[in-house]
Every structure is written in C-alpha cells, then in structure tokens.
A = this chain, B = another copy of it.
Amino acid sequence: MVQETKFSIPRAHPRYESLKMRELLIDGADQGIVATSGLIAHGRGEAFDYLIGERSLRNAIEAEKVAVASLLLAKLPVISVNGNLASLMANVTVNLAEVTGSLIEVNLFYRSRARELAIERVLKQSGAKRVLGIGSNASRIISEISSERRRVDPDGLFSCDVALIPLEDGDRATALRKMGKQVISIDLNPLSRTSQVASISIVDNIVRAFPRMVRIAKQLKSVPASELEALVSRFDNQRNLAGILEAIASRLTRLGENHQ
C-alpha cells in the first residue's frame, strides 16, 4: 500500500469532520478492520453527503426518531457492525445498544478470523460486554445471501425482530426483510437497494445519526409504548425517501442557478 503522510487536521478546518472520518478509516484499513471496498463505499457516502449539504435533513431526523422508537419497542433488537462502523463510531454504537437494549453483532462481507477479532476488540475496548457473531457463534446461514454476510448468530440477527444495519449491502437488507424482520438502514444514498428495501431508511451520515439517536433514545425511554407504536405506524418510508430526493434535487437546482 502507498504510505500516506499523516498530518494533524486543525479543528477549525472547514472540512474537519470529513477529513477526520477519512483518517479514521485509513487507520482502520491499516489495522485490518476496514476493507478496501469499504474505503470506496465511504467515498460514495462522502459524495451523497456533499449533495445533501453535510447536514441532517428534516426527513432524516424524523426517520431516526421512528427508528429509535422501533428499537425500544422490539423484543430482540440487534445492531449489526461492520468494519467502517467500528472504525468510525465504536463508542457511540455501544452507547446506542445500551440505551435501546440492543445486542451488538459483527457481520462482515469479507470475513476472516483476524478481522472479526480486531472488530470485537475495538467494541470491547469501547465498553461492549457481549459481541455476537464472532467465530463459530456465527453458525446460522441465510441461504439467500452469497457473501460471507450470510453467517449470522442464532442468538442475534437470526432471531431478532428489529435489525439496525448501518452501511449495509442491498443483498442482505433484502434477505433480512424476506425473513420478516423490521430493517432499519443508515445509508447516504436514498436510491441504493438498501435504502429502497429497508422498513425505515435513514438517509444521513452515521456520525451525525448515531449520536442523535442516542439523545433521542434517552428522551423516548420514558414515553409510553402506545405513543411509540403510534410514531412507528404513522411513518411512511416511501414518502420520507421521496422527500429526501426532492431536497437533494432542489439543492442542485439552486446551486445550478448560481452558475448562470
């Protein structure tokens, strides 16, 4: 690999957040946590975030609220963790699991013993007591999925009723939906297969969405279940996604007009 010179990014830099994420992922790649295709996927996310305006759209915040309600109502909610998420947000992932009572399961497209152990280590260092989906614990196979993502833990993703799958591929999102699970995706591309098939599609950057979801969960914990159920049942995911596309399109139109 090409050795890239490290430089410390000043906090005041206008692109601090974006450059910081890039640095964390490059570190993750060096540590064998982030896959090469995870770096390319991150770039796709950067582009969509740029189009969105690098802020959370109103519809995204609404989807986040509904997603948290759904996690709080679930019998067995599971948060799926891959290399990019572990590199960017291990601490906040553990917080979100705690406050929503969710389990954490490692699930990788490119699975190797060393890689799953490296991710488990990062999560445990961030305070996770239990990490599912490691080694022989990922013993159940979802046959519709052809990649290593097919391996799931019988105590976790296999049995869960609600699966939060940030930074996911379309095949697995589709398969989990077919298994009858409520699927919450976090994906900056509103047109991706994952966003299209999920039950609740959060189109937002994980580094903005996850900390906000922790705050929302703390607020919603004391709200009666009937109110949370009303929140979830009122939500129209397709309409929410259409609103996101409209917001991006009108931003591009505005930017285009500034050129003329």
Residues in A lying within 8 Å of B, measured CB to CB: 1-5, 22, 25-26, 29-30, 32-48, 50-51, 83, 110, 112, 115, 189, 191, 238-239, 241-242, 245-246, 248-250, 252-253, 255-257, 259-260
Contact = CB atoms under 8 A, between A and B. Distances in A.
A51 B245 CA distance: 11
B110 A5 contact: yes
Chain A's interface: helix, strand, loop or mixed, by majority? helix
Contacts of A242: 256-257, 259-260
10 contacts: A2-B35, A2-B83, A22-B40, A45-B47, A47-B47, A50-B191, A242-B256, A245-B256, A249-B252, A249-B253
Given A22-B37, A252-B249, A2 B112 contact: yes
B1 A29 contact: yes
Nearest to A148: B5
A169 to B, nearest CB: 12
